[in-house]
């Protein structure tokens, strides 16, 4: 497989998921490719197996050649994000004056939660959910309270209302950390669902902080709705970034956005938070949002193809694994409970199949028996991953 040909000089509109060989990918020194031995196929952490979009490469190259590697400044990132939001989501309500640059989405989440809650206060999450929600919230001396998703992978409003009612009875300032689109299920919350969430939050005095990092990565046929755009969302805070959409997690930067009624909260953000993002990261993210649309469209088309491919492979090779192609993200949430591999099937697939997937256990309640598979790779590597998963069952 290492010799599969790829042309990384292909046109910007070509599928970026088909342009790198396994040999080229193994030259990378990032977490995805250096955590496990070389005989392990890594389809776990949220890094994409793609060359960077040309506008991003150009922006980084120009900055390095100029020595423009100082501290971040200005509002160009927020302006580019506002333009992207208007073009892609039909949302003209992203006001640049109600934004701030932050080091990345999760550190931005921490700073937003500091603005609207206090030590020991509850933070509601919809499990199963991105594991750093638990880690970061716990490390900032807040208390995670789960409101599990429904069996359909969507927000269960009755459960959420019950949890909001319980956290409101205590002292302090409760918050709700919304993952939208949701990781790991890839669910895209509808405008009505988000409006219902906003109404509940207002009723129970719960402040909403939305992690919207996967917003650019919506499948064909689905529509992303910014939380701050729905009725009742005016006092919300959102974190957005080009990080996931253009594979820029190593070029740290994100934007915090406040609704009109949360402007005073954001104004209390300490100035030094804005010193944390990488200036080169800000330049790269800005270029992606302004000029990386064709590259993103090619990626989205490739991800649509990969979702269909994975569904077909599982149906033919591992029919006991339940998989519903997601509406967003480049992640697949696989229900492996019928395989009877215990709570952590990822450990079995790693040990016996030499393929690395994310264990569902760290995602909280509802994650046991599941694995998360990263679809942002070539069709050949997805095919090989499923082959290895099937082989792991044969070795029991």
For the segment 308-323, what is each residue's pLDDT rounded down to a tens digit?
999 999 999 999 999 9
What confidence category does residue 171 fall into, taking pLDDT thresholds of 50, 70 and 90?
confident
1 lies in some domain:
no
The tens digit of pLDDT for each residue in 65-109 reads: 999 999 999 999 999 999 999 999 999 999 999 999 999 999 999
Does residue 6 surpass a pLDDT of 70?
A: no
Peptide bond into 112 cis (omega under 30): no
| Sign of the alpha-carbon torsion through 75, 80, 83, 88 | negative
**Last residue of one domain, picked from the residues 268, 291, 314:** 291
135 and 192 in a single domain? The answer is yes
Burial of 181: CB neighbours in 10 Å, binned 0-12, 13-18, 19+: buried
* pLDDT level of residue 184 (50, 70, 90 thresholds): very high
Pair (147, 84) in one structural domain: yes
Q: Both 237 and 260 in a single domain?
A: yes
The answer to the question of residue 73 being in a domain is: yes
Whether this prediction's pTM lies above 0.85 is answered by: yes
Q: What is the overall mean pLDDT for the chain?
A: 95
- Return the bridge partners of 257, or none: 99, 238
What CATH number is associated with residue 208?
3.40.640.10
C-beta of residue 200 within 8 angstroms of C-beta of residue 152: no
Q: pLDDT tens for residues 99-133?
A: 999 999 999 999 999 999 999 999 999 999 999 99
Specify if 8 maps to a domain.
no
Residue 140 has pLDDT above 90, yes or no: yes
What average pLDDT does this structure show over 213-241?
97
Please give the pLDDT value at position 173.
96
Segment 367-394, tens digit of pLDDT = 999 999 999 999 999 999 999 999 999 8
Indicate whether 168 and 283 sit together in one domain: yes
Please give the pLDDT value at position 169.
Answer: 87
Q: Residue 7: its pLDDT value, please? A: 44
Final residue in a domain of this structure, among 263, 291, 319: 291
**Last-in-domain residue among 258, 291, 324:** 291
pLDDT of residue 216: 98
20: containing domain: 16-53+293-394
Note whether residue 86 is domain-resident.
yes
Q: Are residues 311 and 332 in the same domain?
A: yes
SS3 percent helix, strand, coil of the chain, rounded to 5, is 45, 15, 45
Q: What is the pLDDT of residue 13?
A: 61
User: At 367, which CATH number?
Assistant: 3.90.1150.10
Q: Are residues 324 and 256 in the same domain?
A: no
Would you say residue 396 has pLDDT above 80? Answer: no
- Strands 143-146, 355-356: pairing is unpaired
Looking at residue 395, its pLDDT comes to 74
- According to DSSP, the β-strands at 237-240 and 99-102 are unpaired
* Same domain as 115, residue 20: no
122: Cβ–Cβ under 8 A, 6 or more apart, which residues? 142, 143, 144, 145, 167, 170, 172, 174, 175
Tokens encoding 208: 């909403």
pLDDT for the residue numbered 170:
76
Counting residues of the chain whose pLDDT is more than 90, the rounded percentage is 95
Which of 325, 365, 357, 327 has the alpha carbon at shortest distance from 341? Answer: 357
**Are 113 and 127 found together in one domain?**
yes
Question: Quick check: is 9 in a domain?
Answer: no
Residues 82 and 209 in one domain: yes
pLDDT at 10 over 90: no
Q: How confident is the model at residue 139 (pLDDT cuts 50, 70, 90)?
A: very high
């Amino acid at each position: 497989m290492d010799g599969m040909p790829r042309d990384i000089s292909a046109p910007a509109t070509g599928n970026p998921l088909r342009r790198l060989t396994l040999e080229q990918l193994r030259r990378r020194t990032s977490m995805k490719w250096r955590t496990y031995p070389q005989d392990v196929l890594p389809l776990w952490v949220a890094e994409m197996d793609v060359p960077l979009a040309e506008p991003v490469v150009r922006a980084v190259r120009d900055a390095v050649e100029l020595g423009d590697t100082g501290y971040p400044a200005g509002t160009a990132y927020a302006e580019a994000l506002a333009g992207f939001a208007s073009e892609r989501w039909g949302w003209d309500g992203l006001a640049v004056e109600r934004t701030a640059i932050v080091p990345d989405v999760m550190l931005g989440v921490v700073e937003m939660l500091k603005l609207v809650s206090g030590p020991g206060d509850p933070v509601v999450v919809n499990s199963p959910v991105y594991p750093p929600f638990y880690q970061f919230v716990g490390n900032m001396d807040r208390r995670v309270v789960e409101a599990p998703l429904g069996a359909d992978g969507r927000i269960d409003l009755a459960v959420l209302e019950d949890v909001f009612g319980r956290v409101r009875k205590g002292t302090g300032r409760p918050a709700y950390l919304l993952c939208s689109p949701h990781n790991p299920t890839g669910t895209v919350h509808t405008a009505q669902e988000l409006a219902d969430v906003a109404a509940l939050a207002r009723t129970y005095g719960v402040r909403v902080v939305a992690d919207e990092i996967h917003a650019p990565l919506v499948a064909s046929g689905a529509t992303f709705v910014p939380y701050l755009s729905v009725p009742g969302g005016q006092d919300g805070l959102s974190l957005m970034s080009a990080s996931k959409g253009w594979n820029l997690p190593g070029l740290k930067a994100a934007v915090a956005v406040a609704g009109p009624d949360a402007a005073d909260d954001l104004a209390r953000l300490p100035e030094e938070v804005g010193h944390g993002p990488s200036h080169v990261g800000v330049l790269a993210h800005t270029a992606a949002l302004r000029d990386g649309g064709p590259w993103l469209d090619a990626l989205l088309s490739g991800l649509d193809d990969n979702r269909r491919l994975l569904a077909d492979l599982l149906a033919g090779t591992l029919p006991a694994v339940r998989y519903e192609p997601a509406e967003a993200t480049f992640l697949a949430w696989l229900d492996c409970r019928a395989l009877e591999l215990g709570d952590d099937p990822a450990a079995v697939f790693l040990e016996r199949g030499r393929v690395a997937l994310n264990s569902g256990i760290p995602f909280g309640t509802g994650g046991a028996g599941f694995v998360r598979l990263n679809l942002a790779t070539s069709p050949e590597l997805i095919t090989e991953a499923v082959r290895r998963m099937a082989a792991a069952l044969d070795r029991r």
